[in-house]
Every structure is written in C-alpha cells, then in structure tokens.
Amino acid sequence: MSDSQTSSGSTVEADLLTAKQIPGPGGPVPAPGPTAPRQRWWQDSPPWLGGLVGTVAIIVVWWVASFTLFQSSQAIPSPVEVVAKFFDGAQWSSTLNNAGATVKSAALGYVWGNLAAIALSVLVLLLPFLAEIVNQIAIVTYCIPLVAIGPILVITFGRANPSGASVVLAAMSVFFTTVVGCLVGLRAAPRTSLDLIRAYGGSKWTMLRKVQLIAALPSLFAALKIAAPAAFLGAVLAEYLGSGGDSTMGRALIAAQSQSDAPQLWYLALISGLIAGAGYLLVGLVARLVTPWTTGGTEGGRR
C-alpha cells in the first residue's frame, strides 16, 4: 500500500471521528446507534388474548364441521345445540346432581392419592433404601391400563361402597405424578442449607422441615395441578365401568351414548372439561398463594 493511500485512509477516519463530535445546539451530536428491533403487535398483547383467539377459532372450526362434513351423520352437533343445553332448567339440575357426585369421588381420590404419594416420598427421603420399592409401586400404578383394572376395582370396592371404585381409580390416577413431583422437589433442596443444618447437629427430620419441604413446594404444586384433572378423569372412567350409582357423570354419558344423543354427549363432555379445568385453575391459585416467590409475587418488595 502506498503512502498516499495510507494518508488518505487516515484522513477519512479522522473526518468520521470529527463528524461524530460536531457540536449541536445542545452539545455534541451522538453518533446514531443500532436501531432496536421493532415489536410485533402480538408481542405486546395481553396474555388472555391468545386464549380468546384460540377459543374462537375452535368454535368456528366446530361450527363449519357440523354444517359440512358431519351434517348428514349429525355426529357433531352445532355449538348452538350444545349451548342450548346450558339454559335447560331440568337438564341443568340433573347435570349438577351428576357432577356433584363425581366431583365428590374425584376429590376423595385426589386427597387420598396425593397423601399417599407425599407420605411415601418423604419416607424415601428419610429411608433411601425404600426408593426402589416406591418407584416400582408408582410405575405400576402408571403403566397398568385403567380400563383393564377398572372392572376389578368395581367388583372389589363396589360392594361395600357404591363409589369406592371411583375413589380408588381417582387416587391411582394422581399417585405417579405426585410421587415424581414431590421427589424431584425434595431432592432439589439447596446443598449449602442442608450442610449448614448438618454442621450444627441437625437431624434428617430437621432438614426435612426447615429446608426440603419448602424447596419441594414449587415442584409439588406443579404435580398437584396436573393431578386435579387426572383425578376427575379417573372417577368418570370408574363410573363409566359401573361404579358410583345411577346419578353420576359416567352414567349420564352411558345413557346419552345408548340413545345416540350427540348434543347431550357433547354437552356432558364440555361440562367434564370445564370441571377438570376448574380443578387445575383452583390448585394453581392455591399454589400462587402458598408459593408467591415462584410467580414473581415478591418482585415489588425487592425493588
């Protein structure tokens, strides 16, 4: 490279540096920086908007399918036919009665199944040699098809209590999920906190109460949220197989199926989905109240 080219390049760089420092009315004008990426309109939208758009899209697809693909078979009723069931007084009263019985069985199974899962998880933490046994029990309850074991449970537990099989099947439906979530949470306790308690002569029970149970709450509540719809599904399945008496959601589904009443079937399926979703949201609300640090509830305090 020649001396003239070198001096020319140096002059250009000097001119650029000088241009960045040209004073303006209020002082030196800063050099333009990189522009920030433009935000898309959906990135600034509220969280509920996505759910609303998805719900509307599902209803539109449902409506179009009922009047095109399934108009001749009438296997899929229109949304208007299903929604009309909600405004039928006699229908609504019967549904509340059936849903109440199923929710009661599901709630009992939910409580007993989760209590057993939490108790065994704590026992594994205190007595590690039991881990393999508890894991095998959890895997068995998860892998056995509920449809296959349901009739056995109906015969075994249905004689003493009409809804006994519903409670047991609901408990089995939540056991595996809660065992996994609880064990993951208990084992995620901070090692430094455990070492500190151990250094001061604390026992395993002290570490469990002071550190591990608190550390396990986020994972435990995540499992409990998933377990809520599973418990309701287990109870409905048991009723569908003959448990719970005549006034249950399972028996109502059987009656609608035997009559080929598509609007009634879709109405009951929608009610079941709403109940399962309500259980999920209810446990999520409790989780936000009990573990606010996992949802940013203490962020304002840090500021």
The pLDDT confidence band at residue 27, using thresholds 50, 70 and 90, is: low
Residue 281 pLDDT: 95
Least confident interval from 1-5, 98-102, 123-127, 252-256: 1-5
**Residue 65: exposure state from Cβ atoms within 10 A (0-12, 13-18, ≥19):** middle
Is the pLDDT at 15 greater than 80, yes or no? Answer: no
Q: How confident is the model at residue 33 (pLDDT cuts 50, 70, 90)?
A: low
CATH number, span 75-289? 1.10.3720.10
Q: What is the pLDDT of residue 163?
A: 85
Note the pLDDT of residue 282: 96
What DSSP character marks residue 135? H
**Confidence (pLDDT) at 228:** 96
Max avg pLDDT among 31-35, 90-94, 106-110, 258-262: 106-110
What would the two tokens of residue 234 be? Answer: 């287990």
Residue 299: the pLDDT is 40
Residue-wise burial string across 97-124, b where 16 or more C-beta atoms lie within 10 A, e elsewhere:
ebbebbbbbbbbbbebbbebbbebbbeb
Amino acid at the residue 32: P
What is the reported pLDDT for 221? Answer: 94
Residue 183: CB partners within 8 Å, gap ≥ 6?
A: 121, 124, 125
Cα 235 from Cα 166, distance rounded (Å): 4
Question: Rounded mean pLDDT of 257-286?
Answer: 92
Burial 233-272 (b: 16+ CB within 10 A, else e): bbbbbbbbbbbbeeebbbbbbeebeeeeebbbbbbbeebb
pLDDT for position 20: 47
Give the tens place of pLDDT for each residue, 102-134. 999 999 999 999 999 999 999 998 888 988 999
Q: What mean pLDDT is reported for the chain?
A: 81
Q: Is pLDDT above 80 for 266?
A: yes
- pLDDT tens digits, one per residue of 171-224: 999 999 999 999 998 888 888 888 888 888 888 788 888 888 888 899 999 999
pTM recorded for the entire structure: 0.77
**pLDDT tens readout for residues 280-302:** 999 999 999 998 887 654 444 33
pLDDT value, residue 200 = 81
What pLDDT, on a 0 to 100 scale, did the predictor assign at position 105?
94
Predicted pLDDT of residue 88: 81
What kind and span of H or E run contains 28?
A: strand 27-28
**Per-domain residue ranges of the chain:** 75-289
